[in-house]
Structure 1
Amino acid sequence: LKTAVQKQGMNYDDFKANVRRTLLEEKLYGSIFADVQHRTTPENVKKFYSQNSSLFTTFDSITLTRYIAKSQAPLDKIRANPKLRPSDVYVMKGTLKANQMDEGLKYIVTNVEQGKFSPIIPTRNGYEMFYVNDKKGLRTLDFDSVQEKAIEGYVTSERKKAITEFNDRLRSNANIRIIEHPQAKAQGTKTAPKVKVQKRQ
């Protein structure tokens, strides 16, 4: 294993550290997500489906504006002010039928409401995003036909909540003290202070 790792140009000690960190993360997330599995019941999944109907809505055709740029910054500016047209952004608008779209694009825009932007997407040649101008033939799919997707959506949502709650508990149990650097204190200079985090007893 060590020889194989070194042949790929990787440092073996770094490789071991990465494997150890990955295993610890999996162990941590396993305990955090255990409760999510218990809560994944038919009743909770159906409730998620009812409260997030836009995730399970399809359409016959969609009108999109596509923005393409070499960097993310100009797209961020357009998201903040849709009227902007930076010279370094290529813009094109068109209408597509649902059956003309590949699954990747359909997945992206299905979850974007009319009058909203998609997330900015890194590509091989730069960055892209889409603005949904209009959707026609909107209809919500029945629960039985999207049950697997509803389960996946519910689990993903609950896992995000679990991680947020876990991090919030860590912060609330941390005792943070600002400690002035001894050398800075002696010299009267402004050096960034050390931050020491201790877990409350």
Structure 2
Amino acid sequence: MKKLSLLILIAFLLNLVVGCELISKTPEGEAKTVVAKVNGEKITKGEFDKLFQSQIVQYEMMYGEGFASKPENADMIKSLKEDILTQMINEKLIIQKANELKVVPDDKTIETEVNKLYDDAVKQAGGEDKFKSTLETFKMTVDDFKKYMSNRVIIEKVYDEVVKDVTVTDDELIKYYNENMYDYTEKPNKMNVSHILVEDEATAKKVLDEINKGAKFEDVAKKYSTDPGSKDNGGNLGDIYYNDDNYDKTFMTNAIALPVGKISPIVKTQFGYHIIKVNKKEEYKLKPFEQVKDQVKEVVLENKKTDKINETFTNWEKEAKITKYTDRL
């Protein structure tokens, strides 16, 4: 009898568990599933799915229908889900801070600003019908859009509050001007550059020796260079602007200093060892500081504001109690 009672109890518990599972897997239950908590406030699967599905539409526009279901894209989809969840957590945290800082506008102000943003979006889309059609394409409603814009308005107020005391000095402006002078020439300075890239210094010395003995730079580049983008062109990288941040700083400094037609000594960068040749240059005068001071101030002030908001948000994040349930996404 004891064994029988135990079996009945186990069967009852199993049925209870299965029943709970069935309930939790209904669409309504799934939507209410908590995927993250921010200081006790929940983010649900339903909220997450709205953003995720909208993003998937964009991915399928770029990469083709069924992109998300292809096994080879699983890692990208996983990364996308994590990024969206992080975005939602960050937004939730900032909205919480808006309430703490008492910068949340009243409902009427928010409604006015959101309606203006909505009207601007409608105008840009070419009419309300077209805009609503676009929202439908991205699986959004007008209410979804307005809720998103409402949060944008509040987040903007938080940003303004955090950076309200940020200022810049003339010394900071002059320092930035001197360090970024190629942004302030009468016309953009540029040069046509060739290079030979090799992995080790011994090979670089061999390359330089062959060039110094009369070998053509282009022929040596085709023979030795490991840069697939320029090797077949005799090492030619094309025209490069002096303020192009896409190139290694050490490489750029040496190329800018090199006279036209001359061959550089060996230049070591994070990518390896270079021999550089500048084929042509177009250089223009530097505008006086006073002439561009307002432009410089705008850039430096914006950079300092960005640093301030990033520092502040990092501190908020450290202090917050954040829990993620990525296995539920």
Normalising by structure 2, we get a TM-score of 0.32
Q: Which structure has the greater CA radius of gyration? A: 2
Task: Flag the structure with higher strand content.
Answer: 1
Task: Flag the structure with higher helix content.
Answer: 2
